[in-house]
Structure 1
Amino acid sequence: MLNRQTGTVKSLKKITEGLEEALVEIQGAEAKAYVFPFLTGQLQPNDEVLLNTTAVDLKLGSGGYHFVMGKLQDQQVKYTTPGHIMKLRYTPLQLKVCAVEEPDSPHHALMVRVQSLSGTPVICGSLHSMLIPCVCGLVSVNPRLKIAYVMTDGGALPLALSQAVASLKKNSLLCGTVTTGHAFGGDYEAVNLYSGLLAAKEILKADVIIVLMGPGVVGTGTTWGNTALEVGQIINAVTTLDGVAYCIPRLSFAEKRTRHLGISHHTLTALGKVALGAASIVLPALNDGQKEIVLTQLKREGMEKHRLIWGRGHDGIRLACELGLMMSHMGRSYEEDPLFFLAGAAAGEEVARRVNCELM
């Protein structure tokens, strides 16, 4: 069900390219709302708007923001850009994109030809908050690497919602982005993960590809009811396309929920039961007690086909701090949950070292 309210725009503030924050008045009270001008058209103060208030009403993790669905005043917008692929299909907000695979795309002929990642390393993980430490881990070892981010549709669908991507691009740490499935707003659009990976390699010329969902993950406290299981499917896609898969485990000893303590059950299920191909699991340095817990978890879930690599991650974290890049996970900072962020940075550092060895 969709909870809806009407409101009046009082002011607008740009957050990222493609995302604005609106202060709106709803029945005499002020509230914040996200605006995607690409979907709503450009708004102005005093515009009457229709708001989706469901997440705030349910006290979900949208940061207390409503979402503007559109202006109430009559408006006509017609785009004449190329493309026939629809995302958010068969919903009132279905939108046209020009996917790299389709005949209208200048990359269509290339996408017809390419069939393999040819050994390109692909780092995957289950949460968007792994992106900054992972990128910084890569760059701390080799600042010349071309790093592409492929965003799946397991979390938020508009890439514009990601302040992490905006900050990484501002610092020239990404060579580009690809949004796959129903995710949209990347530098390039792809119909699915397979062609998204190939686009990252062949169009963006990436040395390393990072695949993560957008902000937000769906979980239910059950084994199979979460979108983080896509990690196993990502590994399968990388294996099929002859890439080399690396996994950032969701790691924490600051978690209060036992199912996420040590290595999260999301990661364990994805690697143990969903992944058919093999991946390298990168872990940061742990103390003896933590190491015993993690190794017991991995042994219990039957991870024989995967390879365990011990890294560090501190150089990547240091670079993120030097650049002033904000790292946050479930409301926790690096100081509050260091191992979560070190896992992402360690994966980046280890992959960069292996790329360096191959280039020597």
Structure 2
Amino acid sequence: MIHWRRGTVTTIRSTRPGYTEVEADIDQVLPGTTITHVKAVAYTEAVGHPQVGDSVLLNVSALAKRLGTGGFGLIVALPDALPADPPEGPGHLVKDRYSPLQTMVLGVDDQESEHHEILTREESLSGMPVLAADLHSALPAIIAGIRAVDPELRIAYVISDGAALPAIFSQAAAGLKDAGWLHGTISTGQSWGADLEAVTIHTGLLAAKHVLGADIAIVAQGPGNLGTGTKYGFSGLVTGEHLNAAALLGGSPVGVLRMSNADARGRHFGISHHSLTSLIEVARPGVTIPVPDFSTLAEADRREMEIDPAVMSEVVAAQLPMLHMHDQVTVSVDGLWAGLKSSPVGLSTMGRKLPADAAAFLAAAAAGRLAAEL
């Protein structure tokens, strides 16, 4: 299951709170290669702070399997420089449960939390818009759309456990917070390491509303979407359940359409089958579905992107009848291109940047615009 290697840190590549990226020499080549020098990531709250010359124990399975995402090793331990025990304090919520790196945190809904009484009392989102997205890459684009309406709205990112479990792995979330675009983060389920910890999406959403004081919540998995090319075998399927949770709690569920004008796989061109499957078969009827109107693109903006608005409009129009059980709202994308280009973090989805797959980011931004208008 795991490809283990011992290594020695040779370079510190970058660091930010909770996260350090290094280069390391490893004691055995990766399978089928001559590679003995790798990039690796340390989650410093879990394993400590690696320094040049430190011995490290590495999980290199992603490198051994040549995965497109996760192209680095993971530092599991610094055997000769183990961190001190954490200070005594409250919290008995266990995340990444029963794995070798299970961690114990103070949950916002934990009995020992100062917010426990609030989450015991409050059971409604009181109409707060909740956007649910399939891909983590939609996060900055959604926020760009929200800010196009009102840059003062407080936005919370509720992280599911469908992909990266350490919330700190998200460079986008860190950059958005630093820029003041994102008010706070909440890791739910097995995910850990955000500003607040919660047991479920439900308590995560309630904490977004009643603890962080958010006006809008965005629910999405972290980086590292998993898909198998089968109808139900993708980690974003639970988007439908996230929308159901928002509805159950009295929020306003908004389904973010995953779109592409550049994906060579037919099942993802136009509206991705991932969105269609989760919205048609998992989400309960009545979700608000923002549909970007590509005909509203300004000509000057259109010249900067690799998209044919007429083709996209035709493809999407043919798919929309499948979503008849939901409330479809046409949203102008006029002016959103400038907002996307102003993002303080890079925009990239499945390796494609902003100009190449404009539809992906415009659809997410349109969802943000509509949620802000709600």
Q: Place the TM-score, normalised by the shorter chain, in its bin.
A: over 0.9
In the alignment, the residues of structure 1 paired with residue 68 and residue 337 of structure 2 have an alpha-carbon distance, to the nearest angstrom, of 26
Shift in Å, 1:235: 0.9
Residue 31 of structure 2 is matched in structure 1 by none
- Cα root mean square deviation, aligned: 1.5
Shift in Å, 1:93: 0.4
What pairs with 1:178-197 in structure 2 (closer than 5 Å)? Answer: 178-197=186-205
Match among 67, 74, 79 for residue 72 of structure 1 = 79
Residue 358 of structure 1 is matched in structure 2 by none
The answer to whether 1:237 aligns with 2:245 is yes
Deviations 1:154-210 (A, max 9, x none): 111111111111111111111111110011111100000000000000000101111
Kept in 2, the 8 Å contact 1:313–1:342? The answer is: yes
Kept in 2, the 8 Å contact 1:178–1:190? The answer is: yes
Deviations 1:53-95 (A, max 9, x none): 0001101133521111111226363112320010011111000
Residue 334 of structure 1 is matched in structure 2 by 354
Higher mean C-alpha displacement, 11-20 vs 316-325: 316-325
The answer to whether 1:38 aligns with 2:45 is yes
Change over 3 Å in CA distance of 1:253–1:113 after alignment to 2: same
Partner SS for 1:311: strand
Instruction: Structure 2 unaligned segments of length 5 or more: list them.
Output: 29-35, 295-308
Partner SS for 1:42: coil
What pairs with 1:159-170 in structure 2 (closer than 5 Å)? Answer: 159-170=167-178
In the alignment, the residues of structure 2 paired with residue 316 and residue 208 of structure 1 have an alpha-carbon distance, to the nearest angstrom, of 18
Kept in 1, the 8 Å contact 2:7–2:24? The answer is: yes
In the alignment, the residues of structure 2 paired with residue 123 and residue 132 of structure 1 have an alpha-carbon distance, to the nearest angstrom, of 13
Shift in Å, 1:27: 3.5
In the alignment, the residues of structure 2 paired with residue 109 and residue 61 of structure 1 have an alpha-carbon distance, to the nearest angstrom, of 44
The answer to whether 1:110 aligns with 2:132 is no
In the alignment, the residues of structure 1 paired with residue 342 and residue 82 of structure 2 have an alpha-carbon distance, to the nearest angstrom, of 46
Question: What TM-score results when the alignment is normalised by the length of structure 1?
Answer: 0.94
The answer to whether 1:254 aligns with 2:274 is no
Shift in Å, 1:9: 0.7
Residue 218 of structure 1 is matched in structure 2 by 226
Partner SS for 1:293: helix
Change over 3 Å in CA distance of 1:53–1:17 after alignment to 2: same
Match among 304, 311, 319 for residue 331 of structure 2 = 311
Kept in 2, the 8 Å contact 1:313–1:344? The answer is: no
Instruction: Structure 1 unaligned segments of length 5 or more: list them.
Output: 355-360
Residue 289 of structure 1 is matched in structure 2 by 311
Kept in 2, the 8 Å contact 1:239–1:277? The answer is: no
Residue 297 of structure 2 is matched in structure 1 by none
Shift in Å, 1:320: 3.6
Residue 357 of structure 1 is matched in structure 2 by none
Overall identity of the aligned pairs, in %: 39
Shift in Å, 1:289: 3.5
Shift in Å, 1:323: 4.6
Change over 3 Å in CA distance of 1:342–1:189 after alignment to 2: same
Residue 277 of structure 2 is matched in structure 1 by 269
In the alignment, the residues of structure 2 paired with residue 210 and residue 239 of structure 1 have an alpha-carbon distance, to the nearest angstrom, of 14
